[in-house]
A and B are shown apart, each in its own frame.
Chain A
Amino acid sequence: MDQQTSSHAAAQNPTAVKRKSDRELVVTRTFDAPPSIVFKAWSQAELFRRWWMPKSVTGVSLVSCEMDVRTGGKYRLEFGTGESESMAFYGKYLDVVPNQRIVWTNDEGEEGAVTTVTFEEQDGKTLLTFHEIYPTKEALDEAMMGSAAGLPEQMDQLDALLSEIGA
């Protein structure tokens, strides 16, 4: 299936994305720090919120970020897009093993993915694997393409905006 790898000009390690199966996406990246540090940056809200939704790329900013990273704990992230109201992402942690793995649900949709992040030590560095598995192939297809049925207002607004700027 598709494999896309970064050709980032700077010194950053490459980010690879792969559609592993009909309902799975996998992102891998190496970090120049041991798993204990990388895990900490994923599990403490004040650190996590500094990088998860970089505004320069997504155009949205994190309004609030609550996370209780332990098995059975919950998280809730709220984003503001500026003009429209904020949107929330939330779910619970199914499995947390410090410095090794975090597994969480994405409960804001009906067929949200289950996400697993693993931190693997390699010569003092960390190989990070971000894995999303959707309940069905259709759920992932829809995440990628958007639903052909069902027409949320935001999509119409986006369409209007795009035609305004002449796309």
Chain B
Amino acid sequence: MWRPHLLLQQITLTLNYMVQHVASSLDLSFAALADPTRRGVLEQLGRADASITNLAGKFHMTLTGMKKHIVVLERAGLVATEKVGRVRTCKLGRRSLDAEVEWMEAYRTLFEARFDALDKVILEMKAEEEDGSANE
């Protein structure tokens, strides 16, 4: 589904974070979330833990391709993996649970910047209004 307004918001918020905190784990989360397969993996792991082989099958990918995605998600703290015998099992990482909080922070940052800019406009309007009444 094509939703330009959501996309723009996501892109601008993500880029903003990239610029401001390149090395932070917050950016790793946003970068990890920018890929549809990785979002799909998170959705899947939200329902049940799964092995990399299992995930590769579900998303019609090679094992190597899926491993790369898991590494990105794991670095961002969105996924945790555990190797038992020959099978590496993936589950949601601690950060997945914080993802909403992070989005809210990005959303708040946008509004804070907006409203700080609005403060400046309002100051000017008030000054003009005072000038206007002083001249009356």
Contact = CB atoms under 8 A, between A and B. Distances in A.
Nearest to A112: B5
Contact of B34 (A41, A52, A159): A159
The residue among A4, A109, A143, A146 with the most chain B CB atoms within 10 A of its own CB is A146
Interface in B2-39: 2-16, 18-19, 22, 27-28, 30-31, 33-36, 39
Measured as residues with beta carbon below 8 angstroms from the partner, the interface class of chain B is 35 or more
Contact of B104 (A17, A53, A58, A149): A17
Contact of A165 (B7, B12, B16, B18): B18
Interface residues of A, number: 64
Secondary structure dominating the interface of B: helix
Interface in B96-128: 99-101, 103-105, 107-122, 125-126
B121 A51 contact: yes
B8 A79 contact: yes
Contact of A33 (B12, B107, B126): B126
Contacts of B129: 37
Interface stretch (A24-32, A66-74, A94-102): A24-32
The residue among A31, A88, A147 with the most chain B CB atoms within 10 A of its own CB is A147
B107 A31 contact: no
